[in-house]
Amino acid sequence: MAQIFPRWANKTPLFGLAGAAVAALVVPGAIWYWFSPEFTDVGYRPIQPVEYSHALHAGDLGLDCRFCHHTVEKTASASVPATEVCMACHQVVKRDSPLVAPLMKSWNDGTPIEWVRVHDLPEYAYFDHSVHIAAGVGCSSCHGRIDQMVVVQQDQPLSMGWCLECHRDPDKHIRRPDEVTDMGWEPAPDQAEYVQAVRESRGLAPPQTCTACHH
């Protein structure tokens, strides 16, 4: 009686087991790599209710970050500017521009602008802006060159591993107090000596325990 299946078909179970073994290694690795915040979160750039350009305001006009995000040195949150903050300038500047129309409507109606959060940490992760600013960590270390972004996007993954990298080796991020909002900051030649002095005088020792961020 003639064979129905070719001889190589006898090896099909072996091929299946080999394929399953390869998949068991490749699939978790691919998920770990391509499903990480570095790929899923970096570059997130939602459409905002007002076409506000940081490149214009923080870049060309040189507004300090703390002018709008005025609680960043005092509280855990950097705060989103209220309409009143914007109108400090726009009652006079460009008040008839179509781009400012949503702002004027908010001002006249008394309804807040519903800004879309860009950097949104999980609820189980705690981050305090004031602590990091006090330690000398600059805005651009986490947020990138905001002064060059017409539309703000997430620049860093903000993952646990990324945070721990900084806590283990924070020296390259620690600045002098008057440099924290300098977007073009570069470490000075005496960076190592300055950081060493700050660490000794202030006892800076970024925590690496779970309870540091997960209270």
In angstroms, the CA 27 to CA 205 distance is 38
| Non-local CB neighbours of 156 within 8 Å, separated by 6+ positions | 42, 142, 143, 144, 162
In angstroms, the CA 156 to CA 43 distance is 8
Nearest-CA neighbor of 143 among 45, 70, 61?
A: 45
Nearest-CA neighbor of 86 among 120, 62, 50, 119?
A: 50
Each residue's pLDDT tens digit in the chain (215 positions)? Answer: 566 767 777 777 777 787 788 777 777 776 666 666 776 789 999 999 999 999 999 999 999 999 999 999 999 999 999 999 999 999 999 999 999 999 999 999 999 999 999 999 999 999 999 999 999 999 999 999 999 999 999 999 999 999 999 999 999 999 999 999 999 999 999 999 999 999 999 999 999 999 999 98
In angstroms, the CA 155 to CA 43 distance is 6
